[in-house]
């Protein structure tokens, strides 16, 4: 009897950590739907990964509930199930507090935090049927800050809290976990038109207690584990993957 393939939805799957996530899931037998607001990035990733497995690009704004509902509806119509939701889509508006407009603040919160809520809300019933899981991508900005990151940091702090709340509300059928990446070099995972390989200095690497800047694979390997039965006793957890930087005291 043929085993039914698992289906994953990855928001913000056209670039960065989302694109790397799509790649590792495809390589491990998942059907992958990448929800992406950037049409160019989404189509490019879909074309690039067709040889790896079954991938579909859906153009959607995560801040638009009707768009999220339509995306989930289309996934179910095509593939009949959802086993994994990776809420990764994010935007930012990093500028001085007095220059940050209410519209800019609302947009960041709407995409980063409300978008994760909307995807969870409309995928929940389908995830319950498959006893699937949700993995939310937050940031170490939820725990520490540089200047002028109020909207982004607030949205990511909300993701951490949303994750443990969802874990309680949706358990035991659906496990929900959160990952807070630190500095991850995604320069090689951008769309081709905007791809610029950055040069990392020795100081960039050495300031990390583990001795290097992070790679997308550092995050995607954890996503794969948290989506697997091997992590069946883990829910409501937040994993900090930052090379130890949030544990480092820094004095001038």
- Token pair listed for 164: 């443990």
> Phi/psi at 96 (nearest 5 deg)?
-55, 140
Domain count, the chain: 1
Q: Quick one: which of 92, 93, 89, 107 has its CA closest to 42? A: 89
Rg over alpha carbons for the chain, rounded to the nearest Å, is 18
Read off the CATH number of the domain in which 60 is found.
3.40.50.720
Catalytic position from the list 30, 49, 152, 225: 152
In contact, 11 and 182? CB cutoff 8 Å: no
102 part of a folded domain = yes
2 part of a folded domain = no
Instruction: Find how far residue 8's CA is from the centre of its chain.
Output: 12
Strand pairing of 31-36 and 55-59?
parallel
User: In sequence order, what are the beta bridge partners of 31?
Assistant: 7
29 part of a folded domain = yes
68 part of a folded domain = yes
> Which pLDDT does position 193 carry in this prediction?
85
13's CB contacts (< 8 A; 6+ apart) are 19, 21, 22, 32, 33, 34, 35, 36, 42, 45, 57, 86, 88
177 part of a folded domain = yes
80 part of a folded domain = yes
- Token pair listed for 198: 């950055």
- Token pair listed for 112: 């980063």
Cα–Cα distance list, 60 to 74, 111, 206 (Å): 12, 11, 39
Buried/exposed 21-49: b ≥16 CB within 10 Å, e otherwise? bbbbbbeeebbbbbbbbeeebbbbbbeeb
249 part of a folded domain = no
Residue by residue, pLDDT tens for the chain (252 residues) are 345 799 999 999 999 999 999 999 999 999 999 999 999 999 999 999 999 999 999 999 999 999 999 999 999 999 999 999 999 999 999 999 999 999 999 999 999 999 999 999 999 999 999 999 999 999 999 999 999 999 999 999 999 999 999 999 999 999 999 999 999 999 999 998 878 878 999 999 999 999 999 999 999 999 999 999 999 999 999 999 999 999 998 887
DSSP state of 247: G
The answer to whether residue 30 is catalytic is: no
In contact, 220 and 21? CB cutoff 8 Å: yes
> Which pLDDT does position 1 carry in this prediction?
32
Give dist(CA 71, CA 9) in Å, integer: 9
Q: Quick one: which of 229, 217, 199, 246 has its CA closest to 23? A: 217
Domain that holds residue 73: 7-244
226 part of a folded domain = yes
In contact, 189 and 16? CB cutoff 8 Å: yes
């Amino acid at each position: 009897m043929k085993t039914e393939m698992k289906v994953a939805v990855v928001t913000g799957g056209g670039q960065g950590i989302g694109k790397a996530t799509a790649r590792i899931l495809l390589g491990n037998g998942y059907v992958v739907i990448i929800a992406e607001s950037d049409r160019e990035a989404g189509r490019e990733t879909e074309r690039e990964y067709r040889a790896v497995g079954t991938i579909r690009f859906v153009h959607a704004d995560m801040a638009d509930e009707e768009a999220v509902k339509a995306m989930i509806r289309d996934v179910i119509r095509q593939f009949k199930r959802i086993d994994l939701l990776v809420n990764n889509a994010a935007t930012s508006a990093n500028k001085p507090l007095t220059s940050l407009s209410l519209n800019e603040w609302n947009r960041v919160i709407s995409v980063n935090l409300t978008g994760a809520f909307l995807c969870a809300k409309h995928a929940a019933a389908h995830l319950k049927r498959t006893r699937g899981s949700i993995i939310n991508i937050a940031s170490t900005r939820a725990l520490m800050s540089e200047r002028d990151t109020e909207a982004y940091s607030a949205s990511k702090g909300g993701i951490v809290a949303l994750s443990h709340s969802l874990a309680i509300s949706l358990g035991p059928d659906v496990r929900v976990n959160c990952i807070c990446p630190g500095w991850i070099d995604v320069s090689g995972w951008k769309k081709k038109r905007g791809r610029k390989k950055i040069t990392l200095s020795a100081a960039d690497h050495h300031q990390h207690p583990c001795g290097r800047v992070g790679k997308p694979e550092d995050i995607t390997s954890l996503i794969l584990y948290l989506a697997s039965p091997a992590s069946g006793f883990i829910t409501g957890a937040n994993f900090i993957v930052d090379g130890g930087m949030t544990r480092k005291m820094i004095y001038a």
